[in-house]
Amino acid sequence: MISCSEAVQQLWDYLENEVAEADRAAIEQHLAFCRRCCGEVEFAEELQSVLASAAEIELPRAVERRLTSALDGLDSERSQAQATDHGGTA
Amino acid sequence: MVGPHLPALYGLACQLVGDRAEDAVQEALVKAFRKYEQLEDPGAIGAWLRTILLNHVRDTVRRDERHLDEIPVEQVDDTRSLYRRIADEDPLPYSDTLHLDFLSCFSVPDVWAVLDDLPDHYRTPLVLVHMYGVPTREAAKALDVPLNTLLSQLHRGRKRFEQSLWDYAETNDLLRERDGAAP
């Protein structure tokens, strides 16, 4: 049976499915009886949610305007190229 | 179709290349338009754009930067987790849900401030994998390092992030404010 500190060292990798099958089984065996390490798992999951929820930053207006205008430019270039292709093959 | 993905792309680029983010996103968009026919599943356009941005950053913007493999390995104390520290020090004595309440003290700008203080070689893998959900193999490829290097930087980065959350909460009185609000 692995110790709490061995389990805790691997918890995030466990949550990311980055541990070997034998290690996964050892961690799950430990979690089955260790309440404190179950709390560690729940906390690590919550910490991951905190990180994921901070992913989308508000796009500064000026940046949004420039990127949208670049997108429009690319879109019209593509439409023109398609029109030329179709004209050439017609 | 691309517009709704701009905030996430820009946020990711900010983390990867700082003030060169806008240029990086724009150049990635140009590449995406050129290879638009290669997009097999329009429903997966977000992940597809993210991969193009990651490849662009790896191949151009970060080419001259220090490689993750060259960063000396730093020992981190991974015997005491943040979970354990919160339980031991009990910073919110009125709380019945101590650990969740600790995390809820952090606003989104607080989380960014903590991340911004981490060294780049810890922050980048953490942001890619845990914030933007990039699979570890794709993140290793994007950063041009073996998977094992990425995983070990991720491990150290998470420990540093946990330590920094605690330090930030103390330095900025987040816990006292929260505790003071309790009955």
The domains located in chain B, with CATH, are: 3-61 (no CATH), 79-180 (1.10.10.10)
Q: Compute the residue count for chain B.
A: 183
Whole-angstrom CA distances from B144 to A33, A60, B34, B125, B156 are: 40, 30, 24, 12, 18
CB B143 within 8 A of CB B68: yes
**A47, B6: Cβ pair inside 8 Å?**
no
Please determine, for the modelled complex, whether the ipTM score is greater than 0.90: no
Q: Which amino acid is at B64?
A: D
Residue with tokens 């600790």: B102
Alpha helices, H only, chain B: 6-17, 21-34, 45-56, 82-89, 98-104, 108-116, 120-126, 136-143, 147-171, 174-180
pLDDT per residue over B64-118, tens digit each?
A: 555 555 556 566 666 678 898 999 988 888 888 889 999 999 998 999 899 988 8
Mutation for testing the B interface, residue in A40, A50, A65, A77 having most B CBs under 10 Å: A50
CA distance B88 to chain A (A): 12
Share of chain B above pLDDT 70, in %: 86
What is the nearest CA distance from A24 to chain B, expressed in angstroms? 16
Q: What is the pLDDT of residues B28-68, one digit of tens each?
A: 999 998 888 888 888 889 889 998 998 888 887 655 555 55
Q: Which chain B residue has the Cα nearest residue A71?
A: B29
**In chain B, which residues touch A (CB < 8 A)?**
2-3, 6-8, 10-12, 14, 22, 25-26, 29-30, 33, 36, 78-79, 81-84, 87, 99-100, 103, 106, 108, 111-112, 115, 126, 129-133, 136, 151, 154-155, 158, 162
Token reading at B27 = 């150049």
A13–chain B nearest CA distance, Å: 8
Instruction: Evaluate whether A53 touches B12 at the Cβ level (below 8 Å).
Output: no
Query: What would the pLDDT profile of B139-182 be if each residue is shown by its tens digit?
Result: 888 888 898 888 888 888 998 999 999 999 999 988 776 665 54
Contact A41, A21 (CB under 8 A): no
- Residue A18: phi and psi, rounded to 5, are -110, 15
